Structures are given as structure tokens and as C-alpha cells.
Amino acid sequence: MAEPFKRYRCSYCGQEYDEAEGWPDDGIAPGTRWEDVPDDWYCPTCGAEKADFEMVEIS
Amino acid sequence: MQIPANLAQTIVDSRAYAAGDPVDEAFRTIRAEMPLAVAEPEGMEPFWVVSRHADIMTVEKQPEIFHNGDKSTFLTLKEMDPMMRFITGGEPNLIRSLVSLDGQEHKDLRAVVFPSVTPKALRGLEEEIRKIAKSFVAEMLAKAPECDFATDVAFLYPLRVIMTVLGVPQEDEPFMLKLTQELFSSADPELNRDRKEVNPAEALDGLRRTMEDLEAYFGVVTEKFRANPTEQVNSLIANAKVNGEYLNRRQLMGYYIIAATAGHDTTSNTTAGAMWALAERPHLFEQLQADPSKVNAFVEESIRWVVPVKHFMRSATQDTEVAGQKIKAGDWMMLSYQSANRDETVFDDPFEYRIDREPNRQIAFGYGAHVCLGQHLARMEMRILWEELLPHLKTLELAGTPQRTISNFVCGPKHVPIRFTLN
């Protein structure tokens, strides 16, 4: 069974990246896993780097 | 629930912010006893006080529900509103800038400068900013054993950095500093337009005259950069097009003004406040000397500590709820960053200056779609200044009593006298 999609949150502005949705505006297709998001992708809201995102705990 | 009159009065009182402790004490009570309640200070429209860190994030994450620009974006007297709308042709804010915009217009305008201020883009500026830092450090060291760190360094270094990024010539810096201080310090007789105590109507008239000076200045900037475009931020603003059209006059002026004023005053306040904290805390000075890698933590904590933007206002576009409290369409809300950055549920020892907060969840830059556009530049320029300055200092202490600006909006220390010896 495929691993559930996860969400990652920018620690500077709260912008979330949802693996299920991807980020089509930046050419990142829905379903793109976090590890497959290019390392030079940056937060579309505040510009923080990929490394500044934290996984959102599923509660 | 209604916030008692004495507390409501304190959290809008410019002199209480200048004193410091009274505001922190008032918010401590508000957070504990009425964290989301209505204040009605004399002469003001009633507003919700959002005092908790989590509630501010909740509001800021919903920019479509909580608008920036439908009402005044910062605290203002009721009597000022009709005057403001008369001056602006119907708008509640004197300046139509990013902090007062909503929806698509905000997105479109933010996108003009955004690519230039990402950490990735800023890396290319590190060397130039370091050169600027070195020159201000050298000037400060030449003043040993004493200086006023606020006026000699903290006001001037971020100004030079932002003017370089914008493309403003060095000879115009004193003019820009004067107008910025007039704009943000209308209640402070030392810094306002008329350099005296003024009533609210006189303060607004002073702001209007300052705006006229800024608009005259930036009118020429538009012509210059449209004739000869560069990569500098003012050129990006001058040449930006949305749906094939240049920005209109209010958008252009608002953009230039916010970039040129908020782009350094906030960092100046934080830098001055950081030095004040350092000069009072020998253990902190020793810690940083022993481990220079702590400088990023020092910068982050100084942002939490100083909170250079004390608040922004929002208004609800529909009936809604925050933290179980019913908010009605049209309600005005104060997001107190000053309070959120002292929130006991987020920060251990919130009234202590500590560089071991990991992570430091300070929220002084705001959150969500309106998070400060220049936050990464601000962090970077402060880090570079301390990296350049600290290795030169052997001892450091206050040489008098620091003073804060009299203001309840964008403010911080205006005088930080220090005594120091050199390595």
C-alpha cells in the first residue's frame, strides 16, 4: 500500500506544501513526494528554502 | 468580554510603549484573563485585541476573511478616519502599500519584488552588504570609547543597505532617514515633522506634508528608471506591469515608500535593541564572544525582543469565529505582535533575553500571505553587522539610559549610549 501523502510547512510563514497537491504553478505535479521536490525550490510565499520546511504532524 | 479601560488605554499609548514595561504588564494580564476581547480606548472605534501567538497565526492564515485594507491598517483615532478618506479620495490608509492591500492586487504587487528578496537572490548581495557593515564598524570603532549606537550605527547601516538594494544614491540617505522618522514617529516631538508636541490633526497634517515630499522625490525616480532600467528594486517597481499596465500612482508611491521606510526603520530598531540587550548582559556578550556561531540565534532573539512592528490591524469581511469567539463582519482587530512574542504558552521565560530558543517561534515578521517581504534581508544584514563588529569588542556596557521612540506602531530605541574597549 502506498504511503499516505504528507504535508510540510514553511517555518517562516506557515505556507504548506501538500504532496497530494504538489505545486503546479512551479511545475511540481500533484503527487510529488517531498524528497522529489527540487532542492532549489523555495517557499512561494516568503522565499525560504526547502530545508526550512518542517513536516506537519498528522493528528 | 470588554478589556478594562486602563488596560485598553495602555496598549494604545505611545508613551507606554516608550516606557516598555507598562505595555508588557498590560498584555500579560490580557493574555491571562481576556486573550481575545474588545478594547475601546478613548476616541477610537472598538476593536478586538488578538493577544495570543496562536490566534494571530489563525487570523493571518485567512487573509480572505481578515482584510488589511478595509479599515485603517494601524491604530488611529475615530476623528482621523474622515480626514484620511478626504485626503486619499476615500481610502482609510494614507499610503496604499503592500501592508494595506488585499486579494489579487496584493499578490500581483508582492510578486514584483519577491524574486529579489529570497535567500537565494540575496546571497549575491552578501559581499556588498559586508563591505557596508565594515565601513560602519570602522566608524564606530573610531569613536571609542563611547558612542550612541542607535544614531551612530543602527539608524545608518540598514539605511545604507536598503538604499543600495533600492538604487537610491548615498547623498539622498539623510533625506530618506528624516522622512522615514517623520512618517513613523508622528507622536514623538524629537522626530516628527514639526519637531514639537502636536495634536492628532496636526500630526496628520505633518504626515501629509511628509508624503508630499516623498511623492515628489519618487516621481523623479519613476522617470529615471523607466528611461534607464536596472536590476535595483526601485527600477523593478517603476517598470512593473500588471495586466499590461504600469502600477497606478497610489500603488507606485505606496511601494516606493514602504520599501524605503519599513525597509530600514524596523531593522534599525532591532539592531539598536539588540545592542541595548547585549550591553546590559555581560553573560550574553561572553557567550557570543566564545561561540560566534550563536549570532543567528542572537539576531532571532533580538527580533523577538524588540518587536519593531508593535501591531497591525485587520477587519473581518464576514461573520466568523476565532478561538471560540464570535467575530462579526466589519469588526476591527488588533494583532499585537508585542504580546504574541511574550506569549507564555510559546516561549519559556518570555521576559528573559535568551539565545538558546530552538526553534525561536517569534512572529514579529507576521505570518501567512502578508509575512514581511524583507525578512530574509533583515536577518542577513543584522547577522553580517554582528559578525563584523563583535570580534573587535573587548568590553561593552551602557554609558547612560537608552530611550525608546514615543510611538505605538513601528518603533524601538532611539538612543543607546554605550561604552566599549577594543581588542
Q: What is the pLDDT of residue B351?
A: 97
Q: Which three cell numbers stand for residue B344?
A: 507564555
pTM value > 0.80: yes
The beta-carbon neighbor of B367 closest among A13, A40, A42 is A13
Amino acid at A7: R
pLDDT tens-digit map of B205-257: 888 899 899 989 999 999 999 999 999 999 999 999 999 999 999 999 999 99
Gap from B237 CA to chain A (nearest CA, Å): 18
pLDDT at A41 over 90: yes
With an 8 Å Cβ cutoff, is B248 touching chain A? no
CB proximity under 8 Å: B 98-127 to A = 114, 117-121
Q: What is the pLDDT of residue B203?
A: 86
Computed over every residue of chain A, the mean pLDDT equals 92
Residue B153 DSSP one-character state: I
Share of chain B above pLDDT 90, in %: 87
Nearest-by-CA chain A residue for B375: A46
Strands (E), B86-178: 146-148
pLDDT tens-digit map of B282-339: 999 999 999 999 999 999 999 999 999 999 999 999 999 999 999 999 999 999 999 9
Residue B3 to residue B27: CA distance in whole angstroms: 11
- ipTM of the complex as predicted: 0.90
Chain A contact residues (CB < 8 Å to B): 11-15, 40, 42, 45-49
Share of chain B above pLDDT 70, in %: 100
**B145 with B420: CB under 8 angstroms?**
yes
**B415 with B151: CB under 8 angstroms?**
yes
Residues in chain A: 59
* Residue numbers in B near A13 (CB within 8 A): 367-368, 371
Residue B64 to residue B257: CA distance in whole angstroms: 25
pLDDT tens-digit map of B78-128: 998 998 899 899 999 999 999 999 999 999 999 999 999 999 999 999 999
pLDDT tens-digit map of B177-195: 888 888 888 888 888 898 8
